[in-house]
């Protein structure tokens, strides 16, 4: 646990894909392969909108698209296979951290007034595989994941509850920042009353992210001072 800060701490809730890193579409490939392995269907994620969605939601929609049972047991089985295949796909892909992210994670980790956690559409096993692959898993002791809900807007309370469990204090909405790359991340921040920091390193433009109501939009995170100034 970090030493007590002299002022109330702020909670930074990070999205992963498109925000912290990109995997060269390893996740998409693993999901498509899982559909092939389990059901003999090789259409990939055709017809699905996946940016900002949770793994559970994507799998439910994928199974429904092809007329397969998509109850809790079927989804859990699918996700187990997905994790196995994701571990195979990640080393094959030319992924990496987005500009400036590592420096920001390192600096925030050293600042006693800041707490970093995850708020991601990944299931936790998949999230940890991705973060480990690119050397940043150790920055995140806890978070909220698709294991908690298929719907991203449900994840905020789980993240805040775990923050209290880990740090022994409440984080009111005005001291919570959601950092993501899609309108779904912004909507999730709004659902919990938090501030939304959007970064255009995913599939949405700065203009699109501004239009959906983000409190701040960055082209990327290559300028740490601007990021930390915003937190003040």
- Same-domain check for residues 153 and 218: yes
pLDDT for the residue 116: 98
Q: List, as one string, the DSSP characters of 172-213.
A: -GGGEEEEESSHHHHHHHHHTT-EEEEESSSSS-HHHHHHTT
- Same-domain check for residues 67 and 158: no
pLDDT for the residue 131: 98
Residue 50 tokens read as: 């996946």
- Same-domain check for residues 61 and 174: no
pTM of the complete model: 0.95
d(CA 207, CA 202): 13
- Same-domain check for residues 154 and 113: yes
- Same-domain check for residues 82 and 110: no
- Same-domain check for residues 36 and 53: yes
CATH number of the domain residue 164 falls in: 3.40.50.1000
Residues 6+ apart with CB under 8 A from 69: 63
Which segments of the chain does DSSP mark as H helices, in order?
26-39, 55-65, 72-89, 101-110, 124-133, 155-167, 183-191, 206-211, 224-231
219 found inside a domain: yes
- Same-domain check for residues 100 and 87: no
Q: Is the sign of the CA dihedral 229, 169, 183, 102 positive or negative? A: positive
- Tens of pLDDT, residue by residue, the chain (232 residues): 554 445 789 999 999 999 999 999 999 999 999 999 999 999 999 999 898 999 999 999 999 999 999 999 999 999 999 999 999 999 999 999 999 999 999 999 999 999 999 999 999 999 999 999 999 999 999 999 999 999 999 999 999 999 999 999 999 999 999 999 999 999 999 999 999 999 999 999 999 999 999 999 999 999 999 999 999 8
Give me the domain span that covers residue 54.
26-92
pLDDT for the residue 6: 56
- Same-domain check for residues 42 and 77: yes
52 found inside a domain: yes
pLDDT for the residue 5: 47
- Same-domain check for residues 71 and 177: no
- Same-domain check for residues 146 and 163: yes
User: In degrees to the nearest 10, what's the CA dihedral of 26, 99, 212, 180?
Assistant: 60
- Same-domain check for residues 46 and 160: no
pLDDT for the residue 14: 98
41 found inside a domain: yes
d(CA 43, CA 47): 9
pLDDT for the residue 49: 87
Domain count, the chain: 2
């Amino acid at each position: 646990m970090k030493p007590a800060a002299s002022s109330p701490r702020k909670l930074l809730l990070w999205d992963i894909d498109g925000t912290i890193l990109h995997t060269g579409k390893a996740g998409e490939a693993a999901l498509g392969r899982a559909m092939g392995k389990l059901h003999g269907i090789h259409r990939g994620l055709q017809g699905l909108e996946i940016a900002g969605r949770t793994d559970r939601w994507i799998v439910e929609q994928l199974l429904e698209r092809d007329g397969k049972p998509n109850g809790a047991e079927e989804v859990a089985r699918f996700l187990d296979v997905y994790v196995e295949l994701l571990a195979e796909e990640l080393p094959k892909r030319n992924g990496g951290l987005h500009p400036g992210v590592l420096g920001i994670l390192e600096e925030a980790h050293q600042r006693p007034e800041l707490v970093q956690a995850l708020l991601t559409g990944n299931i936790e096993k998949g999230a940890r595989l991705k973060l480990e692959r690119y050397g940043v898993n150790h920055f995140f002791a806890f978070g909220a994941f698709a294991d908690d809900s298929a719907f991203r807007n449900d994840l905020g309370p789980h993240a805040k509850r775990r923050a209290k469990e880990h740090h022994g204090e409440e984080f009111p909405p005005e001291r919570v920042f959601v950092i993501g790359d899609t309108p779904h991340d912004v909507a999730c921040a709004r659902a919990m009353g938090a501030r939304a920091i959007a970064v255009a390193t995913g599939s949405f433009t700065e203009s699109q992210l501004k239009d959906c109501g983000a409190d701040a939009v960055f082209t990327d995170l290559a300028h740490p001072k601007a990021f930390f100034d915003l937190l003040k």
